[in-house]
Amino acid sequence: MATILDGKALAKTMQSQLAEKVAKFTEQGHRPPGLAVLMVGDNPASATYVRNKERACAKIGIATLGQHFPADIFQEVLMDTISDLNNNDRVDGILVQLPLPGSLDSVTLLNHIDPDKDADGLHPINLGRLLRGEIGLRSCTPSGVMRLLGEYDIDLTGKRVVVVGRSILVGKPLALMCLEANATVTIAHSRTTNLSELTRSADVLVAAIGRPEMITADMVKPGAVVIDVGINRVEDEKGVRLVGDVATQDVAAVADAITPVPGGIGPMTVTMLLENTVLSYQRRLGLI
């Protein structure tokens, strides 16, 4: 059976290290780092995500300056709020919880965030910095994938990486990060012809397409490393449960290493959000 790449354990270790770092700075008389999470409406999943992020912040000493707005909020009010946070010296990271109600222009709102406070690492300037190999805040989920691979000494140099999924959240930035790590990268998606043939060529296969258990054992090269970024809520005869984009049990019999769902990339995503906030804080206060 495949080695389980335990993102939950690594996230716990990293968060303890971040807590020690923050404690050292505050003991020196510095203010704590600050993260502002903006949520609009009453989406239950979003509310859960925000609570989890705020709890994680509290554990490591990050001050949360979150604001919750009704679903009928005007775009201009949110733009003004982001402007205020951009100019607030106590705020090091800003996050707009997605999805937003259809009446709001999420792209304009996200682009209005100061790139140096872009805790999610999704601002066009930060994505451009990634493309150019420059210093900048990195997208959280792809960064979490790379950190987990590094923890298990999985070297991508010369490896064939296939990323199934082309979103700006995961697929595209992750492909750039893998290229930076000297891998040969192919991006596939739902319209890719002969997808199974392509995935079977991968030394490292990343599933980030948002389809429950789409990647099956016959699509995986024996001995491959399989990274499952998907989190899908399904309801069947087994009840309501979370599954990834990979049929984990069957694929684990073929792969050399695999991430679980839950407990794989999800905890790493939250941890990289915290790390981005602390990194922004250190830069803003001249601590690095």
Closest by CA position to 269, among listed 169, 185, 154: 169
Active site residue 250: no
Residue 10 Cα distances to 7, 58, 139, 150, angstroms = 5, 18, 18, 11
Which residue among 21, 92, 118, 120 is the active-site one? 120
SS3 content of the chain, % helix, strand, coil (to 5): 45, 20, 40
Q: Please list, in sequence order, all residues whose beta carbon lies within 8 angstroms of the beta carbon of residue 74, skipping any fewer than 6 positions away.
A: none
| Active-site annotation holds for 21 | no
Alpha carbons 272 and 160: distance in angstroms, whole number: 25
Question: Is 249 tagged catalytic?
Answer: no
Q: From the candidates 21, 53, 159, 172, give the one annotated as an active-site residue.
A: 53
C-alpha to C-alpha distances, 242 to 48, 165, 232, 247, 261, nearest whole angstrom: 14, 19, 5, 12, 7
Marked catalytic residue, from 15, 21, 92, 97: 97
Residue 203 CA: distances (Å) to CA of 189, 206, 244: 18, 10, 20
Q: Which of 104, 78, 77, 90 is nearest to 277 (CA)?
A: 90
Which residues does the annotation mark as catalytic? 53, 97, 120
